Amino acid sequence: MSAELNHTPDWVKNAVFYQIFPDRFAWSASVEKPGNFEPWESAPTPDGFKGGDLIGVQEKLDYLEDLGVNAIYFNPIFQATSNHRYNTHDYFQVDPLLGGNQAFTQLLTEAHKRNIRVVLDGVFNHVGRGFYQFNHILEVGPKSPYIDWFHIHRFPLNAYSNSANYDCWWNYPPMPQFNHANPQVRRFIFNVARYWLDQGADGWRLDVPFEIKDDEFWREFREVVKTANPEAYIVGEIPSEAQHWLAGDMFDGVMNYQLTHACVSFFGGSRIDVELAKGMMGLPTPEAMDAVKFAQRTQELLTIYPNEFAQAQLNLLDSHDMPRFLSLVREDIQRLYLAYLFTLTYPGAPCIYYGDEIGMTGGRDPDCRKAFPWDKSEWNQQLHDKIRELVLLRHAIPALRTGTYQPLLANGNLLVYMRQDEHDSVIVAINLESSSQTLDIELKELIPDGTVLQDQLGSTQVTIQSGKISSLTLPSMSAVILA
């Protein structure tokens, strides 16, 4: 591997992502569609379609730009027969319900004009029953030339029963698994990866890559991607610690569910809905965590990977695969806000799951995949404005993006940490206690005496004296960002 492969894209370290589930974000009247859609505002169902599309996203780019978003991660957009599109039929065709290839090209052009990057969901472990090569086997049987593209055990195929006789994702017949040992399959996947980067996509989020138990496959994938575009982002869906995949030869980052778990535990505290949180991404049920443990864990998650890769993590509070954070903390808006304040002042690329910024709630799938309400009367406008303020602050102060991270004080539900680079020192203090707290923060010469720091979110001003900040008062459930 060349040294270049140990580099992760600099734009990712400066990105604020926005995750979009395409069927549920925005509907454009300019995309011709068949009928039979569920009402936009009705509760989502596992199999129903709302009719969101990519031109709808394009028409909302002004909204995203205003929010400060400069990268989008899309759930799958390729032709498939489900609202989630994780059962791909054709990797070279954007689903007609989303507007087809032309809609993607148009969206990408408009996004790039605004310096918004676009990362696609790569579902390369399994396909749909309608994927041509699998459908060929389904129709032709044991004489099909494509039989070695999959692991078939017996004929006829039980493709529509509960007992599939071929390898499929979690024994789910609609999602047959590729035979990745087949060189043709590998070439096909690498061609897909290269094709969409050549079309202008800015990277791949990889679905369940841990299920492809072949390191050489992922090393080759990285080489294909980085040859096509050295600045393309490769982010894997790995809920566990991911040292194995972040050694420089496979991925740039992972969906940081380890951080998600810690954030639910600390910011959720006594408000965690334990029943709802059970089984979240296959991780242990989150339990209330104090600031000491949270400070340790957030430091640890930056040190278990090389710094270049620690800074390219996709840091999320929730996603399409788990209950929304707001529902996990029993709809406590302030806890959601403070958790976003943390992720937006922590190393790595923060990711906002569509609608979190306006207070959308949602339990387990499909409830976490509701349609975005474009009627502003349904928004928590104050939350939206405060999250926007945090995003813009992150963009304004480089130390909040790529500076060092150093906890300074952790006690009970009080957390203070510093982000620092050669130009700026920023101190973030968070009080999750139910009462106001007054604290002294020892700085041990990290910032010179006489330095005046101003809260970027309010009117508080402090002066460093005798190597510390003295008598800083934080109301309950509040935070300051001193810079």
Positions marked catalytic: 207, 237
Residue 25 to residue 52: CA distance in whole angstroms: 6
Q: Is 139 left (phi over 0), alpha (psi -120 to 50) or beta?
A: alpha
Residue 481 to residue 390: CA distance in whole angstroms: 10
Residue 405 to residue 400: CA distance in whole angstroms: 9
Residue 325 to residue 387: CA distance in whole angstroms: 15
Q: How far is CA 295 from CA 254, 270, 292, in A?
A: 21, 18, 5
- Sheet containing strand 314-316, edge to edge, reads 253-254, 233-236, 203-206, 117-122, 71-74, 17-20, 349-353, 314-316
Per-residue burial over 19-46, b if 16 or more Cβ lie within 10 Å, else e, is: bbbbbbbbbbeebebeeebbebeeebee
- Cis amide bond preceding 156, omega within 30: yes
Residue 316 to residue 255: CA distance in whole angstroms: 7
- Gyration radius of the chain over CA positions: 23
